[in-house]
Amino acid sequence: MQSSVELTQDLVRFNTINPPGAERACAERLASLLESTGFAVELIPFGEGRAQLVARIGGMPGKLPLGFTGHLDTVPLGARPWSVDALAAEIADGKLYGRGSSDMKSGVAAFVTACMALADRLAGTPGVVLIITAGEETGCSGAEALTKGTTQLPHIGALVVAEPTGNRPLVGHKGALWLEATTIGVTAHGSMPEKGVNAVYKAARAVTALQDFDFNIARHDVLGGPTLNVGTISGGLNINSVPDRAVIGIDIRTIPGQEHAKLRDQLTTYLGDEVALNTLLDAQSVWTNPNDAWMRDVFRIAREIGGFEEEIGAAPYFTDASVLTPAIGSPPTAIVGPGELALAHQTDEYCFVSRIEQATALYSRVIEHWCKI
State the Cα–Cα distance between residues 12 and 274, nearest whole angstrom: 47
Q: What is the mean pLDDT of each run of 10 residues along the chain (373 residues)?
A: 97 98 98 98 97 97 97 97 98 98 98 98 97 96 93 95 98 97 98 98 98 96 97 97 98 96 97 97 96 97 92 94 97 98 95 98 98 97
Range 175-283 has CATH code 2.40.50.1020: no
User: Residue 186 gets which letter from DSSP?
Assistant: B
Angle separating helix axes 106-118 and 24-36, nearest 10 degrees = 20
State the Cα–Cα distance between residues 331 and 302, nearest whole angstrom: 20
State the Cα–Cα distance between residues 138 and 107, nearest whole angstrom: 19
Strands 51-57 and 245-254: unpaired
The DSSP H or E segment spanning 43 is strand 40-45
Q: What are the angstrom distances between the C-alpha of 163 and each of 68, 102, 105, 173, 234?
A: 11, 8, 9, 12, 33
Q: Which CATH number fits domain 4-173+285-371: 3.90.1720.10, 3.40.1170.10, 3.40.630.10, 3.40.50.1000?
A: 3.40.630.10
State the Cα–Cα distance between residues 277 and 263, nearest whole angstrom: 12
Contact of 246 with 183, CB cutoff 8 Å:
yes
Contacts of 256 (CB under 8 A, 6+ apart): 172, 220, 223, 285, 287
Kindly report each contact of residues 81-85 with a partner whose C-beta sits within 8 Å and lies 24 or more positions away, as own/partner. Answer: 81/347, 82/347, 82/348, 83/348, 84/348
Contacts of 325 (CB under 8 A, 6+ apart): 159, 286, 331, 333
- The widest CA-to-CA distance across the chain, in whole angstroms, is 79
pTM (2 d.p.) = 0.94
pLDDT for residue 150:
83
| Residue spans per domain, the chain | 4-173+285-371, 175-283
Closest CA to 162 of 351, 2, 21, 297: 351
Same topology between domain 4-173+285-371 and domain 175-283: no
The DSSP H or E segment spanning 303 is helix 293-306
Q: Which residues pair with 71 in a beta bridge?
A: 133
Burial track 320-340 (b if 16+ CB lie within 10 A, e otherwise):
bbbbbbebbeebbbbbbbbbb
Q: What are the angstrom distances between the C-alpha of 298 and each of 129, 307, 323, 346?
A: 18, 12, 22, 29
Contact of 97 with 88, CB cutoff 8 Å:
yes
Burial track 138-153 (b if 16+ CB lie within 10 A, e otherwise):
ebbbbbbbbeeeeeeb
